[in-house]
Amino acid sequence: MRKIQSTINASSAEFRRNFAHNKRLAAEFRERQEAARHSRPARDLARIAKQGKMRPRERIEKLIDPGTPFLELSSLAANMAYGGEAPSASCIAGIGIVAGKETMIRADDCTVKGGAWYPLTVKKIVRALDIALENRLPVIHLCDSAGGFLPLQAELFPDRQMAGRIFRNQSLLSKLGVQQLALVFGHCTAGGAYIPALSDYSVIVRGTGAVFLGGPPLVRAATGEEVSVEELGGAEMHTSVSGVCDYPAATEEEAISIGRDIVRLWREPNKIAGRREPAEAPAYDPEELYGILPDDIKRQFEMREIIARIVDGSRFHEYQPNYGATLVCGFANIWGFKVGILANNGVLFNDSSLKGAHFIELCNQNETPLLFLQNITGYMVGREYERRGITKDGAKMIMAQSCSRVPKFTVMCNGSFGAGNYGMCGRAYDGRLLFAWPNHQIGVMGGKQAANTLADVKLNQMKRGGEAVDRALVERVREETLAAYQEQLSAYYSTSELWDDGIIDPVDTRNALGVAISASLNAPLGEPGYGVFRF
């Protein structure tokens, strides 16, 4: 593979302007992430200290192997929901190394409303277990939750992707032989009681750990029975009478130590034979990504320059370099792992759509994971392109991508609009992991286009109805639409709703993808096959 020859002038005024803009966005992201991770009311921190508990992130630090990475997912989930009172959606999830094994770690955050589950908490837990299922990752649950946040119970309980899905996913993991461990540091109440009950192993801390379908207040209200927490669901009862839990621990440190011993006993993963070569750093500084990304979402940039700062040695074997120029396709290594990359260099035309579909087929034939780098305004529209069959050609790309048998990963590098999001493996297409950069925007269309479209619709309604044209009303429709879109298009809104697996700093992309690709190799490839391609 040849090294990409960069043409970036790092001393140009444009580069410096872009660098300052994107560096500021990255710094803002880091500040928001730091607050979500660590900023808590003093009373909540004092409460858990009085109980002799560690903070959830301290537990994770002691659980994972020293000096190994922890790829946290959706660190800013719920950042624009619930008035900001559920940072990180009241739980932590991510991929870490425990006793040498890649593991999905899921921790209740007892510093947020006692670890209560909000609707987005449930969505985040379900997503973490989906990732574990897709990648055959063992799961460690760090349990310390007051149960569902009852004022929002209608959004927690009854539907297909709500709390019941957590326990369904646990059951499917067990069916597949994927191990699970529950470390019970605090209460596991109501549905949360099923987490240790459905795990292969469970450790419970004396004095603070408890597991029950209904706590003492509910038992009293339902039956009139007076019972203490320890009698109802404490460590001694569950490890010596009910058998719900396996090991008692005197302290949280001991519980974590027992947990690590258990994980050491688990079998080694049988990774698929992915092609891997010695890893090599990019030849160009990843910090230059800040200067390459534009300070305006509407301005185009060269995606090969992005690739050059992510892949090993900045080397890239480009496929069909002279055809379908608005979609860059080719092979590279990331941390030694072979990947096939599809990256947008403009709107998708007929030829770029066909090129993408064919390249996806080649990667499936070659058992090469796919990486989609999105900066897409959509598929091309207009009479000429419809006559050429752009809808048909876009559908071919969507078909090839949807039916892929190899792991797929997506990075939202800039804009993601319209059906281009679909062809480039948006959230609906079951990529193993999807990350966004802080500058990212996503929507059916851009804010200005949506505002103009709805303003035109309103204007036409007035004309058809014989009304006098109210220009002030039309302008108000335009302004209100634009304001709503600007909020909902942002990366922070998207990640708040868990439409991605987390915002990451562009300079961290290579490392995040390295962990993700390695974890994906724990699962077997799907069966080859496609649906009907319309020719």
337-351 tens-digit pLDDT: 999 999 999 999 999
Structurally, the chain folds into a number of domains equal to: 3
Residues 293 and 155 in one domain: no
* Lookup: tokens for 29: 């992201």
Q: What is the mean pLDDT of residues 134-142?
A: 98
| Residue 413 resides in a domain | yes
Q: Are 186 and 328 members of one domain?
A: no
Q: Looking at the structure, do residues 6 and 90 belong to the same domain, yes or no?
A: no
Would 496 be classed as within a structural domain?
A: no
Residues 86 and 214 in one domain: yes
- Residue 495: inside a domain: no
Evaluate whether residue 213 is within a structural domain.
yes
Q: Are residues 257 and 363 in the same domain?
A: no
Report the range of poorest mean pLDDT among 282-291, 392-401, 465-474: 465-474
Q: Where are the alpha helices (DSSP H) in 332-389?
A: 350-365, 383-388
The CA distances from residue 264 to 140, 183, 307, 380, 535, in Å, are 13, 15, 38, 53, 53
Tell me the whole-structure pTM to 2 decimals. 0.94
Residues 211 and 242 in one domain: yes
Q: What is the pLDDT of residue 159?
A: 93
pLDDT at 480 exceeding the cut of 80: no
pLDDT (0 to 100) of residue 349: 97
Residue 456's pLDDT band (cuts 50, 70, 90) = confident
Domain that holds residue 481: 445-489
What pLDDT band is residue 317 in, cutting at 50, 70 and 90? very high
Lowest-confidence pick of 67-71, 133-137, 221-225: 221-225
Give the pLDDT score at 446. 66
In this structure, are 146 and 234 located in the same domain?
yes
In tens, the pLDDT along 27-66 reads 999 999 999 999 999 999 999 999 999 999 999 999 999 9
Lowest mean pLDDT across 286-290, 323-327, 453-457, 500-504: 453-457
Domain closes at, from 265, 287, 313: 265
User: Both 426 and 450 in a single domain?
Assistant: no
Nearest to 5 by CA among 258, 316, 218: 316
Question: For residue 497, is it within any domain?
Answer: no
* Counts of helices then strands in the chain (DSSP H, E): 20, 16
3-state SS assignment for residue 190: helix
| Band (464; pLDDT cuts 50, 70, 90) | confident
Residue 111 has what pLDDT?
A: 95
For the chain, report the end-to-end CA distance as a whole number of angstroms: 33
pLDDT at 479: 78
- Indicate the average pLDDT of the chain: 94
Residue 463 has pLDDT above 80, yes or no: no
For residue 462, what are the contacts with CB-CB under 8 A and spacing of at least 6?
468, 469, 470, 474
The C-alpha atoms of residue 292 and residue 306 are separated, in whole angstroms, by: 8
Cα 224 from Cα 216, distance rounded (Å):
10
Name the domain boundary from 265, 289, 317. 265
Per-residue pLDDT band at 473 (split at 50, 70, 90): confident
Of 78-82, 187-191, 304-308, 467-471, the range with the lowest mean pLDDT is: 467-471
The pLDDT value given to residue 405: 96
**235 and 155 together in one domain:** yes
Under the banding of pLDDT at 50, 70 and 90, the label for residue 445 is: low
The candidate with the shortest Cα–Cα distance to 418, out of 471, 482, 492, 344, is: 344
pLDDT tens-place string over residues 218-260: 899 999 999 999 999 999 999 999 999 999 999 999 999 999 9
Domain-ending residue, one of 239, 265, 291? 265
Residue type, 297: I
Q: What is the pLDDT of residues 107-133, one digit of tens each?
A: 999 999 999 999 999 999 999 999 999
Smallest Cα–Cα separation from 96: which of 87, 106, 88?
Answer: 106
Residue 281 domain-assigned? yes
Q: What pLDDT score was predicted for residue 394?
A: 96
Q: Are residues 287 and 385 in the same domain?
A: yes
Average confidence (pLDDT) over 427-444 = 95
| Residue of higher predicted confidence among 190 and 253 | 253
Bridge partners (DSSP) listed for residue 410: 372, 434
Domain match, 303 and 180 both: no
* C-beta of residue 398 within 8 angstroms of C-beta of residue 423: yes
Given this model, what pLDDT does residue 110 score?
A: 96
Q: How confident is the model at residue 324 (pLDDT cuts 50, 70, 90)?
A: very high
Percent helix, strand, coil in the chain (nearest 5)? Answer: 45, 20, 35
For residues 202 and 135, membership in a common domain is answered with yes
The predicted pLDDT at position 460 comes to: 80
**Residue 449: pLDDT band with limits 50, 70, 90:** confident
Residue 195 resides in a domain: yes
Q: Does some domain include residue 498?
A: no
- The CATH number of residue 523's host domain is 3.90.226.10
Q: How many Cα neighbours within 13 Å face the side chain of 456? A: 6
pLDDT at 447: 67
